[in-house]
Chain A
């Protein structure tokens, strides 16, 4: 029933959009990786925590009408792949916007929202969502 450690472990990454940057080649990734796919072994021990600013633009978007349980209250909602200004793409919900306002290329920034909860008695988990810039 409770998956608390699994959610807790990702809190810092989810609250603060922290991924990885390869000190060897400079490429950034989200989520964090312990190894750079491009640099392979040369990157072991050289992956740094990298904080994304949350700014970016819409790369692809959809409006979700049939949702998982924890998103029932929000449907229909906009889900998008955001191309961050730093390079990596991040998937998230776009809130406080109507579908007509969101197109490929629309600029967004990140914000902090409730992602879900493990039932009425369980823990609540939080993380990033996006709003129009």
Chain B
């Protein structure tokens, strides 16, 4: 297997982008990444597009072809593939690109993640979100996507004493980070009390525990490590890519206070990278709900089981904490355009490892890990990135 590097990144602002269509945002992120990589679109060998549900949001399937077309390279007839794994569609696209380069099949590959969520009404967005859980046995019986995470939170609070305040501290931290991210959807701070007082969604989850509805796109350009220096002085290497699946519905999971797929994917990734959680300097995890971040930092191995809440409340995951988690603002403040998130996480890690994260910079960041989740944990994809010293 060849070693794989990222040589360029780009992303749109995340937010309610009323003036821009799905095509607009997909292309913008891609061009920014190509410009960053100093690669002309003629050189692209393959494209992977992470998109969860364009078919329902904008009634458009076949977006692999669409993105390649509107990037101007339909005439090059490259293979362009759309992949889907719920909210993990972005990371899945990164993984597929990684595999295609590592295998020797392609050289220069562009990965885009994009979602245009605001072209449908709120009720329909709620419906689409729940399509990644079990429609027949969860949604039909009254489950909404947040309510399933609320069940996990309820159990986590019962088994480990996780508190309302611990959950709130995640949202507060991530909003603080969002203020430092020019591309973030929310650039305002919030207080612990704001979260606890926000309207209930599915208790204990409240509005400010939840990532927002967002439009946005992110892109990365990848190539074999051994030619990366032609494009950039400091290539960032993908040291590991791991993916794991689990039961679709919560009722069949062994435990609902963790995501087994996260634990397995993390172990596989660290094994592949020959690193451990304590080697990580920065992490981007899937905080679609505040409880998700608590479970993620436990599952990945940063903190012992059940201690994630306490660690967060004590500031151990802040910018200058033991491990900087979600320096980008996370899904909560950066935004969560479903198929774009996984790629945006990689974009943040790349900027951190290049030393280009500006006011969000973790000093001397050398290794980073990204965790992207689909559904209620039925798919988890983890990438470990690193730079030479």
Contacts and interface: CB of A to CB of B under 8 A. Distances in A.
B137 A31 contact: yes
B41 interface: no
B298 to A, nearest CB: 17
B107 interface: no
Secondary structure of the A side of the interface? strand
Nearest to B199: A65
A66 B144 contact: yes
Contacts, number: 99
Given A65-B199, A68-B127, A79-B202, A127 B140 contact: yes
B154 A64 contact: no
A127 B155 CA distance: 26
Contact of B256 (A14, A64, A81): A81
A92 B123 contact: no
A77 B142 CA distance: 9
Secondary structure of the B side of the interface? helix
A59 B254 CA distance: 13
Interface in A41-95: 59-69, 71, 74, 76-77, 79-81, 88-93
Nearest to B133: A91
A62 B150 contact: yes
Interface string B160-175: 0000000000000000
25 contacts: A6-B136, A30-B251, A62-B154, A62-B204, A63-B203, A64-B144, A65-B199, A65-B203, A66-B202, A68-B126, A68-B127, A68-B139, A68-B142, A68-B144, A74-B142, A79-B141, A80-B151, A81-B151, A81-B256, A89-B251, A91-B137, A104-B155, A125-B140, A127-B141, A128-B141
Interface of A: 6, 10, 14, 29-31, 59-69, 71, 74, 76-77, 79-81, 88-93, 99, 104, 115-116, 125, 127-128
Interface of B: 123, 126-127, 130, 136-144, 146-147, 150-155, 158, 199-205, 249-252, 256
